[in-house]
Structure 1
Amino acid sequence: LDTSPVAINFGFFKVRLPLIVVLVVMVIIGMIIAWFFGRDTKEKTDHKVTFFNKKEKKIE
């Protein structure tokens, strides 16, 4: 594990954290962003599937 501290400059303040902490936090943020955008498209897809299923039931 790489525990050497790295400096992250946010413009108005600077943080020094171990590299492993920075990497884990970035992976978690990436997963949250991917889940958020994936959830939105899944709801749209589920809505379309529900719509088509209702339409098919009316024909039968």
Structure 2
Amino acid sequence: MVVVQVDAVARSGVTYIHPGILDPCKRPGKLHPGCHPNPKSAPTQANTYNRGCSRHHRCRQ
């Protein structure tokens, strides 16, 4: 998809890449996972899952 958009930009004579191509939080439309509702704030973690500790995982507390 990036190649198609870069090719379209090259044909139109524009010399910049839209920030939405590189940063999903700046894409138009609905809020993407991991993006904060306030556009000036830092991105948040999308998946907050943390596996439990057990003897099988050999983790230390």
TM range (shorter): under 0.3
| Greater relative CO (CA pairs within 8 A, separation 6+) | 1
Higher helix content, 1 or 2: 1
Please give the TM-score of this superposition, normalised by the length of structure 1: 0.26
Higher strand content, 1 or 2: 1
Which protein is bigger by CA-based radius of gyration?
Answer: 1
